[in-house]
Structure 1
Amino acid sequence: MDKKILVTGATGKTGKETVYQLLKNNIPVRALVRKADERSAELKEIGAEIVLGDLLDFDSVTAALKGITGAYFVYPVIVPGILDATAKFAQAALENGLEMVVNMSQISARREAKSNAAQSHWLGERLFDRSGVPVVHLRPTFFAEWLMYRAGEIKVKNSLTLPFGNGVYAPIAAADQGRFIAAILAGPEGHAGKTYPLFGPKELSQFEIADILTEVLKRKITYYPVEIADYGKFMEKEFGYDPWFVQHVIAVAQDCRDGIFSGTNELIRQITGTAPMSMHEYIEENRGLFE
């Protein structure tokens, strides 16, 4: 069977880049989206087949995987449901004989994780492992895109308020992850059963990220570390986030302070042939959001 890849979360940050990279290499893509809108229209315009579906609907997942050889599976961390979605996707993938599933997990995924989402990602990995479907687990550190949560504050107040204390991590851009995912799906040989931690090129504290913002934007941006519990209350009051996501952020903020998100490696360069984007490059590329 000729390759055809299903990309879930296709209008999201990693999914969109995965679609783009696969199509650039002339690999047919079916993009699973929850609704038809301008984002799905953009994917259709560049050559993706668009199908509507819901990862929590077994029938629509099964239909989306028919005729597919490999898939990228990602479930939004901001809402509960990942284990239900994983079980349905794994079964449907098994029934359709997929040669590879790339599963988006997270670096804090572990049995003893305090974050309900992180622990569920770890359990989801185990579900895939037991399903018999060839699978690769990705465990990225914090995305560079975390900065977007505070873009309004940076733009208006020249400040960056987060609960990560002095914790350091190497922010990784979603675009680099998309290139990595596409590379594995294009050439899955030797990857099945692997777990890949993914990092950007350099560990940074929020103080250092604020310094980079200052350098790129040519105005002083100040990082204000806040207590973890206070930030959770702020998320609930100001943004109305689902309690599931608030609990996750509170737990991983402590993980970040404890070094769980730290580290670097050369995997992005080794697998894709191109080094990951630096935080300076990421901010420069997206500077319009902060000006």
Structure 2
Amino acid sequence: MTAPDQLIGVTGASGALGGRVAARLATAGAAQRLVVRDAARAPQLGGAEVRAAPGGYADHAGLTEALAGVHTLLLVSAAESETRADEHRSAVAAAAAAGVAHVVYLSFLGAAADATFTLARDHDATEAAIRATGVPFTFLRDSLYADFVPGMVGADGVLRGPAGSGRVAPVARDDVADAAAAVLLDPATHAGATYDLTGPEALTLAEACAVMAQFSGLPLQYHAEELQEAFESRMGPDVADFEIDAWVTSYLAIREGELDIVSPAVRTLAGHEPLGLLEVLERRPGCLDHVTAR
């Protein structure tokens, strides 16, 4: 277990995932530092101190200062951008410079230099940067968040994407937070380990729509787009090319079977079964209110 004097750092603590982890650490009575861009947005948690790094991961000097004294760090992925891989490398270098003794990185399932999903390649680059520092690490490779699946459905009740009949086992953010907190509280046990965090069942997107239809009573359906159709449907004046590529290739990764993984890691780390898609929906009763099709 983490010694009482071993400070845990949590980046992204004002966000949905980092905030969940910080809350769990507070409940466990852990000493933690919440590292955020804006201190005013940090959650108010007992036993937690707050340090702001307004420049984010790209601000090597500011982040190094904010991480001084941190023993174990949860590195939450930065917002998706064309520079995210560089931002992550800057954050990793800052952690090493600050003397962080263990980095727990929230990566993505199937992270690899040749992954179909373009953002999974960025995660692979970040993992490589962490390994290169020589700092002990643990990689948590999340599947697609189950919490995001309802938002993939359009207002017309159709989930569109070129995933074909491929499968994915979406994972609840609550389960990721439980697993991450367990690792942060006992980092030495998990040094050098890589865990795939998934839900309990791999579903096609048609099956996911059926689950959401069962939950909501709405006539939801999946439309398996062709590749060109997928690119064209995402294009717009305010959409960057990297966003289109990421969106389309996330579906292609499902089609190619790269996310067809069901792992016991949530059970192993968190000590309970992972939530299924229906259970996640039941915790978010208004998650399909944007659908106007009736």
1:27 match: 30
Gaps of 5+ in 2: 290-294
1:121 match: 123
Q: Distance in 2 between matches of 1:74 and 1:236?
A: 28
Which amino acid in 2 is paired with 1:52?
A
* Residue 61 (structure 1) aligned with residue 60 (structure 2): no
Q: Distance in 2 between matches of 1:193 and 1:245?
A: 32
Which amino acid in 2 is paired with 1:5?
I
Q: Distance in 2 between matches of 1:210 and 1:115?
A: 22
* Residues 102-113 of structure 1: pairs in structure 2 closer than 5 A: 102-113=104-115
2:173 match: 174
- When structure 1 is superposed on structure 2, of 185-194 and 80-89 the one drifting more is 80-89
8 Å Cα contact 1:105-1:139 kept in structure 2: yes
8 Å Cα contact 1:77-1:245 kept in structure 2: no
Aligned length: 284
1:80 match: 82
* Residues 209-248 of structure 1: pairs in structure 2 closer than 5 A: 209-237=208-236, 240-248=238-246
* Residue 3 (structure 1) aligned with residue 15 (structure 2): no
- What's the CA shift for 1:187? 0.5
1:90 match: 92
Q: Distance in 2 between matches of 1:32 and 1:212?
A: 37
Q: Distance in 2 between matches of 1:28 and 1:79?
A: 32
8 Å Cα contact 2:23-2:45 kept in structure 1: no
Identity of aligned residues (%): 26
Q: Distance in 2 between matches of 1:86 and 1:27?
A: 26
8 Å Cα contact 1:79-1:242 kept in structure 2: no
1:185 match: 184
Q: Distance in 1 between matches of 2:260 and 2:143?
A: 7
2:292 match: none
* Residue 49 (structure 1) aligned with residue 38 (structure 2): no
- When structure 1 is superposed on structure 2, of 227-236 and 209-218 the one drifting more is 227-236
- What's the CA shift for 1:189? 1.8
Moved over 4 A (4+): none
SS in 1 for 2:50: strand
Cα-to-partner distance string for 1:100-140 (whole Å, 9 max, x where unaligned): 21112211311222444322221211111110111111222
Question: Larger % of helix: which?
Answer: 1
Q: What TM-score does the superposition give when structure 1 sets the normalisation length?
A: 0.89
8 Å Cα contact 1:113-1:119 kept in structure 2: yes
* Residue 138 (structure 1) aligned with residue 137 (structure 2): no
8 Å Cα contact 2:145-2:173 kept in structure 1: yes
- What's the CA shift for 1:201? 0.5
Which amino acid in 2 is paired with 1:193?
G
Q: Distance in 2 between matches of 1:14 and 1:265?
A: 20
Q: Distance in 1 between matches of 2:33 and 2:276?
A: 31
SS in 2 for 1:55: helix
Q: What TM-score does the superposition give when structure 2 sets the normalisation length?
A: 0.88
- What's the CA shift for 1:83? 3.0
Cα-to-partner distance string for 1:209-233 (whole Å, 9 max, x where unaligned): 1111111112322222222333333
Q: Distance in 1 between matches of 2:164 and 2:147?
A: 18
